[in-house]
Amino acid sequence: MRVLVTGGAGFIGSHVVEELTARGHEPVVHDLRADARCDVRDGPAVARALAGVDAVCHQAAMVGLGTGFGDAPDYVSHNDLGTAVLLAAMADAGVRRLVLAGSMVVYGEGRYDCPRHGVVRPGPRAAADLDAGRFEPRCPRCGAELTPGLVAEDAPVDPRNVYATTKLTQEHLAAAWARSTGGTAVSLRYHNVYGPRMPRDTPYAGVASFFRSSLARGEAPRVFEDGRQRRDFVHVRDVAAANAAALEAQPPDGTLTAYNTGSGDPRTVGEMARTLAAACGGPEPVVTGEYRLGDVRHITADSARLRAELGWKPEVGFEDGMREFARAGMRGAGR
């Protein structure tokens, strides 16, 4: 299969290219890092790149929380306009298979259970609570303490920052494209991806990159809140394998299918920072109590659907992955 990989020179995209090659496919890289003319927002350039292509693996995106709401036009341009241009070119070219780099951020908070009211959806955390160190969401009906659990694909979506909003819009655009063209679309909702070639020293990366960059400078990782926020850290090679599995699958025509893509092994941010610091031989993390208003407290994946329907399973365990990450090279700053 000849596969156009947008963002194919980036962190995740480069691993997707390697995985596809190892499986006997022919990846075609389309990435601004490789060639300034390879902007996914450039319709004629995308049309040329689609010549002879059987499928598209869309990894190109501006990621992370960025530096503030002033980044909103860039996020919308790169993520949503870029996706619209790509899908329009695919419709014209007759390319009918798409795998999209989705994100768990579309859910907002993860799943929570109240002892009295069952599954509930807490609203955004208030700045006053965060300032006072009250980080855990409470039941919106009775104020009770909640138990976090694994979020499934049928959970309501609730994007709570600009990046999350653009990732959900990408899914809506892909679903509309699939309905219009009869194409097949899969969105892999990545959880916290880490591993070799992560970008360093940039506000447009994930927490693992922030910690690794600090340790590379000999500085202690700075852990926000109390460090007990739960995440699902999934290795980039496992994510690349999920992309290949999705491209080789036969999802239903005319619709978008979403799959959580996580390790299924929830860890706290503080635990990840300590494990990475120990693997690097660096200073112990510092828990700061600081927060970012767009962050959610707990979000961990139920990836059972991806395992059952596509036969995928993660192969890299948390400790082994963190030890490798501690030794691995990182990419220069960039989006």
Active site positions, annotated = 163
Backbone angles phi, psi at 73, to 5 degrees: -60, -40
Pairing of β 118-120 and β 111-114: antiparallel
Question: Quick one: three-class SS letters along the chain?
Answer: CEEEEECCCCHHHHHHHHHHHHCCCEEEEECCCCCCCCCCCCHHHHHHHCCCCCEEEECCCCCCCCCCHHHHHHHHHHHHHHHHHHHHHHHHHCCCEEEEEEEHHHHCCCEEEECCCEEECCCCCCHHHHHCCCCCCECCCCCCECEEEEECCCCCCCCCCHHHHHHHHHHHHHHHHHHHHCCEEEEEEECEEECCCCECCCCCCCHHHHHHHHHHCCCCCEECCCCCCEECEEEHHHHHHHHHHHHHCCCCCCEEEEEEECCCCCEEHHHHHHHHHHHHCCCCCEECCCCCCCCCCCCEECCHHHHHHHCCCCCCCHHHHHHHHHHCCCECCCC
